Amino acid sequence: MQYQSEVAQRAFVDIHTLEPIALAATASAAVASYAWVGRYDQKAADAAATTAMREALANAPGHGSVVIGEGEKDDAPMLFNGEIVGNGHGPDFDIAVDPLEGTSFCAKDLPGALATIAFGESGTLWSPGPGFYMDKIVVPPQAKDVIDLDDPPEETLAKVAKALGKQVSELRVVIMDKPRHKDLIARVLRAGAAVQTPAGGDVGGSLAVLLPTQDIDLLLGVGGTPEGVMTAAAVGALGGGMLGRLAPQRAEEADAIRAAGMSLDRIYNCAELVTGDAFFVATGVSGGSLLGRPRKSEGTTITESLVISSGQVRHITRTTFE
* Domains of the chain with CATH codes: 2-123+278-321 (3.30.540.10), 133-273 (3.40.190.90)
Q: Are 218 and 171 in contact (CB under 8 A)?
A: yes
Predicted local distance difference test score (pLDDT) of residue 295: 94
Condensed to tens digits (0 to 9), the pLDDT of residues 177-215 reads 999 999 999 999 999 999 999 988 889 999 999 998 888
Cα torsion 233, 238, 244, 248: sign = negative
In a 13 Å sphere around the CA of 60, the CA atoms on its Cβ side amount to 31
* pLDDT values of the chain reduced to their tens digit, one per residue, 322 residues: 333 334 434 444 588 899 999 999 999 999 999 999 999 999 999 999 999 999 999 989 988 999 887 545 445 456 777 788 988 888 899 999 999 999 999 999 999 999 999 999 999 999 988 899 999 999 999 999 999 999 999 999 999 999 999 999 999 999 999 999 999 999 999 999 999 999 888 899 999 999 988 889 999 999 998 889 999 999 999 999 999 999 999 999 999 999 999 999 999 999 999 999 999 999 999 999 999 999 988 889 999 999 999 889 999 999 988 7
Q: Are 104 and 200 in contact (CB under 8 A)?
A: yes
Q: Are 194 and 218 in contact (CB under 8 A)?
A: no
Instruction: Give pTM, 2 decimals.
Output: 0.90
CA–CA separation, 79 vs 77, rounded Å? 7
Candidates 31, 24, 32; CA nearest to 59 is 24
β-pair type (84-85, 133-139): unpaired
Dihedral Cα 195, 198, 203, 209, nearest 10 deg? -30
Alpha carbon 171 to chain centroid distance? 23
